[in-house]
């Protein structure tokens, strides 16, 4: 679409920290920890469900260098949640720093603080624990109303009413219906009833969970952590430790990836507890194994889709039931599940007459889940898109055609998406664009390559949101300095995504200056304006809008200071091409002059801080297409090309938006083809290291090509919507589709391993 020519927006500017990162500068948590920090290590339970009967720390405490060892007896007894969410948190308060009742294999039994790593590790190995081992609930399909309770305790609290009950192993439960689902279903020519399963994938960010804590010069707890959510961490620590929020400062340095993992306070509480107890600096660095077995992976979900259609391919009704496994604790349980329906059903608004979406979220004695890019939408979209592909194949309608017949179009009201208006939707254009770029008509047919190998293609659509409507808050402070350059202070967390840079681009666009003239600082609870944090696809959309508003407000203030300089009324002043001009005169005041004036005999601040929240969450859209070569004998799938077209409104920085898309696609490929999660008898993941949990290498992903279709979102900054999460949603269904084309088998559980492909015979054969 046509849009305004911008100077800094829609430009591929280098990330502000790029050269620091590429040249290996010490900018991460572990790089800035002083030598005298205590090393914190955790003893973890080998049992999935057990009570600590006795625990003997005598020998551990005698190890030279060990400062102290803490057990369940030493910690506060009020429950909290690790989930980084806006207060009141939808996630139940079901955690203690250390609980006597351990609920998954990997749950914390003791905290060791020592002068060095060797002493800490030795002490961990010398703690003697006698467990009363209980039978665990490991299969999430049997958890609801099971006689074994994961959280039998009486001080379990749900701060929000989400239909949960710890006496039923239920974290949340809900039912939504629109229209007369049963009678439309009964009237349909075709009803497909399919069940899909996606596992608890790990984010596997390269930097594991880690936190450093110390007491500052006022005796306040200063936390430097690899986190996406500095303000939520402050609240979580305040709850967990029982200290006031103004006695805690949380900041993040550069972060080695998050993808949602660091939207929960996984590592913060342990060194914080040690620092409070000892008064000394402390740090914890999770091993890769700890990150794999006690992190915050995707919620394992089973999604049952009932799709009703007529024989022309018109999709008339969708009925979803999602069962979500929250694991041992409820972090993000009540919220992730919602997206499995809310971000899949609306894509078929064009034809749907009715829909139903019910869900249950259950506790089990497995690793607690958390937030992972896609946040439930990924699971729902895999289920719905695969069912739609099956309908197309069944009716012999080209899958792109069946989308054209049924999809959401711009201007429609989405009943399955809180009745929001699709004000900016280029989904149809994404499909057309992708189809042409990919040469769908050429690649879709199954082609025999000889020696048991075939080539073919598959596709999927996706949507997500942009921030949590009526909940999230994004804020920005923009300050003019006396040399006419700007400072931007944010509480959103750049975790490599480049939000520092794209927000600076927005300041540059508003203030008509170069991006280099805008320095960015974030995120620090002492200095940044309040921001929910970087999650829920919110930073570009929400914090971006706050930036735009803060700039507008700052301009007004600068006009007023400029008027003081010229001795006229501020109504006479306008901001124009990076200067303040007095209307109808040649008189101008430079930013430098205003910056200097702001510091001399002045009563008006040359800075502005604005918070923003949105009543809507405009969805970005995407179409992905994949060509594979499949070896029918070995089951090996080789990706030839993965192409996608994304509608994220106006991309603020096309290079960074493209990298988001490419990175998300490769993660999705990993989940679909190679990242497996299997558990041993105690429910502990066997894939507990990078030797077993195989994320894609650069030899596993084929050629990627990503392009954009612009739409203009009126509520977003410069027409922008989100990009960060949607990009992970198409590989699952697109690959499952291509694999069906090649083999005649619909695989409804991910990952689809070569073994499953080779050993499952098509019913057609």
Site for other proteins (CB under 8 A): which residue of 297, 341, 522, 696? 696
Under rule CB under 8 A, residue 79 binds other proteins: no
Pairing between β-strand 315-327 and β-strand 354-363 as defined by DSSP bridges: parallel
As a whole number of angstroms, the distance between CA 99 and CA 328 comes to: 12
Locate the DSSP E strands across 217-314: 221-225, 248-251, 282-285, 300-309
Q: First and final CA of the chain: distance in angstroms? A: 48
x-or-dash string of contact with other proteins, 293-332, rule CB under 8 A: ----------------------------------------
Under rule CB under 8 A, residue 496 binds other proteins: yes
Region of 270 on the Ramachandran plot (φ > 0 left; ψ -120 to 50 alpha; else beta): alpha
As a whole number of angstroms, the distance between CA 262 and CA 717 comes to: 26
Task: Scan residues 568-597 and list those touching other proteins (CB under 8 A).
Answer: none
As a whole number of angstroms, the distance between CA 530 and CA 589 comes to: 32
Site for other proteins (CB under 8 A): which residue of 10, 86, 169, 208? 208
As a whole number of angstroms, the distance between CA 114 and CA 37 comes to: 9
Under rule CB under 8 A, residue 762 binds other proteins: no
Site for other proteins (CB under 8 A): which residue of 192, 701, 744, 749? 701
Site for other proteins (CB under 8 A): which residue of 28, 209, 273, 708? 28
Decide whether 681 or 699 has the Cβ nearer to other proteins.
699
In angstroms, what is the minimal distance from the CB of 729 to other proteins?
A: 15
In angstroms, what is the minimal distance from the CB of 739 to other proteins?
A: 14
Q: Which range, of 20-28, 173-181, 415-423, 602-610, touches other proteins by CB under 8 A?
A: 20-28
In the three-class reduction of DSSP (H, G, I as helix; E, B as strand; rest coil), residue 620 is classed as: coil
Under rule CB under 8 A, residue 491 binds other proteins: no
Q: Which range, of 22-30, 102-110, 143-151, 530-538, touches other proteins by CB under 8 A?
A: 22-30
Tokens 């942009």 identify what position?
Answer: 466
- How far is the CA of 616 from the CAs of 348, 421, 467, 592, 724, in angstroms? 19, 9, 8, 39, 18
- How far is the CA of 672 from the CAs of 86, 669, 754, in angstroms? 32, 5, 11
Under rule CB under 8 A, residue 18 binds other proteins: yes
As a whole number of angstroms, the distance between CA 356 and CA 320 comes to: 6
Site for other proteins (CB under 8 A): which residue of 207, 390, 531, 725? 207
As a whole number of angstroms, the distance between CA 325 and CA 301 comes to: 6
Task: Scan residues 234-263 and list those touching other proteins (CB under 8 A).
Answer: 254-259
Q: Which range, of 171-179, 529-537, 547-555, 752-760, touches other proteins by CB under 8 A?
A: 752-760
Judge contact between 753 and 734, C-beta under 8 A: no
Decide whether 81 or 464 has the Cβ nearer to other proteins.
464
Q: Which range, of 203-211, 311-319, 336-344, 410-418, touches other proteins by CB under 8 A?
A: 203-211
**DSSP 8-state class, residue 262:** G
In the numeric block, which tokens belong to residue 234? 């402050």
In angstroms, what is the minimal distance from the CB of 664 to other proteins?
A: 7
In angstroms, what is the minimal distance from the CB of 742 to other proteins?
A: 16
Helices (H), 469-530: 499-511
Non-local (6+) Cβ contacts of 125 within 8 A are: none
As a whole number of angstroms, the distance between CA 614 and CA 605 comes to: 27
In the numeric block, which tokens belong to residue 645? 């077209």
Site for other proteins (CB under 8 A): which residue of 2, 5, 24, 681? 24
In the numeric block, which tokens belong to residue 281? 């600096």
In the three-class reduction of DSSP (H, G, I as helix; E, B as strand; rest coil), residue 469 is classed as: coil
Decide whether 19 or 574 has the Cβ nearer to other proteins.
19
Site for other proteins (CB under 8 A): which residue of 470, 590, 605, 703? 703
Under rule CB under 8 A, residue 31 binds other proteins: yes
In angstroms, what is the minimal distance from the CB of 323 to other proteins?
A: 24
In the numeric block, which tokens belong to residue 20? 């620091």
Under rule CB under 8 A, residue 464 binds other proteins: no
Non-local (6+) Cβ contacts of 142 within 8 A are: none
Under rule CB under 8 A, residue 15 binds other proteins: yes
Q: Which range, of 69-77, 191-199, 496-504, 524-532, touches other proteins by CB under 8 A?
A: 496-504
Task: Scan residues 112-141 and list those touching other proteins (CB under 8 A).
Answer: 121, 125
Task: Scan residues 392-451 and list those touching other proteins (CB under 8 A).
Answer: 451
In angstroms, what is the minimal distance from the CB of 50 to other proteins?
A: 22
x-or-dash string of contact with other proteins, 633-672, rule CB under 8 A: xxxx----------------x-xx-xx-xxxxxxx-----
In angstroms, what is the minimal distance from the CB of 749 to other proteins?
A: 15
Decide whether 98 or 644 has the Cβ nearer to other proteins.
644
DSSP H/E element including 317: strand 315-327
Under rule CB under 8 A, residue 17 binds other proteins: yes
């Amino acid at each position: 679409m046509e849009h305004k020519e911008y100077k800094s927006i829609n430009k591929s500017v280098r990330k502000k920290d790029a050269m620091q990162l590429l040249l290996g500068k010490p900018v991460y948590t572990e790089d800035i920890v002083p030598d005298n920090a205590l090393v914190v290590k955790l003893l973890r339970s080998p049992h999935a469900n057990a009570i600590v009967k006795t625990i003997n720390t005598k020998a551990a405490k005698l190890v030279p260098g060990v400062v102290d060892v803490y057990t369940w007896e030493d910690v506060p007894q009020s429950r909290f949640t690790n989930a980084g969410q806006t207060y009141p948190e939808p996630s139940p308060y079901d955690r203690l720093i250390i609980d006597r009742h351990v609920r998954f294999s990997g749950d914390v039994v003791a905290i060791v603080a020592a002068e060095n790593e060797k002493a800490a590790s030795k002490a961990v190995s010398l703690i003697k624990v006698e467990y009363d081992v209980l039978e665990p609930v490991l299969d999430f399909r049997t958890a609801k109303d099971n006689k074994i309770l994961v959280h039998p305790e009486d001080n379990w609290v749900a701060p929000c009413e989400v239909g949960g009950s710890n006496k039923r192993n239920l974290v949340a439960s809900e039912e939504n219906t629109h229209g007369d689902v049963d009678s439309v279903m009964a009237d349909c020519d075709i009803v497909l009833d399919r069940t899909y399963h996606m596992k608890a994938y790990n984010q596997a960010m390269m930097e594991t969970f880690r936190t450093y804590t110390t007491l500052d010069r006022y005796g306040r707890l200063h936390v430097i952590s690899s986190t996406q959510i500095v303000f939520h961490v402050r609240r979580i620590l305040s709850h967990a430790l029982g200290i006031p929020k103004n006695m805690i400062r949380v900041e993040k340095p550069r972060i080695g990836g998050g993808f949602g993992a660091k939207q929960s306070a996984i590592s913060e509480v342990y060194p914080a507890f040690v620092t409070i107890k000892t008064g000394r600096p402390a740090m914890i660095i999770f091993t890769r194994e700890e990150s794999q077995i006690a992190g915050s992976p995707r919620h394992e979900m089973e999604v049952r889709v009932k799709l009703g259609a007529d024989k022309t391919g018109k999709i008339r009704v969708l009925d979803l039931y999602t069962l979500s496994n929250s694991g041992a604790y409820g972090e993000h349980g009540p919220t992730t599940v919602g997206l499995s329906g809310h971000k899949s059903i609306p894509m078929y608004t064009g034809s749907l007459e009715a829909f139903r979406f019910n869900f249950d979220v259950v506790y089990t004695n497995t690793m607690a889940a958390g937030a992972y890019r896609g946040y439930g939408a990924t699971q729902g979209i895999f289920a719905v898109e695969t069912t739609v592909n099956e309908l197309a194949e069944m009716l012999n309608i080209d899958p792109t055609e069946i989308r054209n017949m049924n999809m959401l179009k711009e201007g429609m009201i989405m009943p399955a998406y809180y009745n929001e208006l699709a004000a900016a939707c280029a989904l149809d254009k994404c499909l057309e664009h992708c189809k042409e770029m990919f040469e769908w008509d050429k690649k879709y047919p199954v082609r025999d390559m000889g020696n048991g190998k075939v080539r073919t293609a598959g596709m999927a659509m996706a949507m997500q949101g942009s921030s949590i409507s009526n909940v999230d808050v994004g804020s920005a402070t923009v300050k003019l300095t006396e040399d006419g350059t700007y400072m931007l202070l944010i509480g959103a967390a750049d975790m490599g995504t480049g939000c520092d840079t794209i927000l600076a681009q927005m300041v540059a666009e508003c203030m008509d200056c170069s991006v280099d003239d805008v320095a960015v600082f974030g995120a620090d609870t002492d200095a940044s304006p309040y921001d929910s944090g970087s999650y829920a696809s919110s930073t570009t959309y929400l914090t971006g809008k706050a930036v735009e508003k803060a700039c507008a407000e700052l301009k007004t203030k600068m006009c007023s200071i400029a008027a003081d300089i010229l001795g006229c009324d501020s109504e006479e002043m306008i901001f124009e091409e990076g200067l303040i001009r007095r209307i109808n005169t040649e008189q101008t005041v430079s930013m430098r002059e205003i910056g200097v004036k702001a510091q001399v005999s002045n009563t008006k601040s040359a800075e502005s801080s604005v918070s923003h929240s949105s009543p809507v969450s405009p969805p970005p859209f995407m179409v992905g297409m994949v060509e594979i070569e499949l070896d029918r004998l070995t089951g090996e799938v080789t990706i030839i090309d993965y192409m996608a077209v994304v509608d994220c409104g106006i991309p603020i920085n096309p290079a960074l938006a493209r990298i988001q898309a490419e990175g998300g696609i490769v993660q999705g490929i990993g989940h679909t083809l190679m990242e497996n999660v299997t558990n041993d008898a105690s429910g502990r993941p066997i894939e507990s290291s990078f030797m077993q949990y195989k994320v894609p290498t650069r030899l596993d992903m084929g050629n990627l090509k990503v392009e954009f279709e612009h739409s203009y979102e009126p509520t977003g900054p410069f027409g922008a919507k989100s990009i960060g999460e949607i990009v992970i949603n198409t590989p699952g269904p697109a690959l499952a589709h291509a694999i069906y084309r090649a083999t005649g088998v619909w695989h409804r559980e991910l990952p689809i391993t070569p073994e499953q492909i080779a050993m499952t015979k098509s019913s057609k054969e």
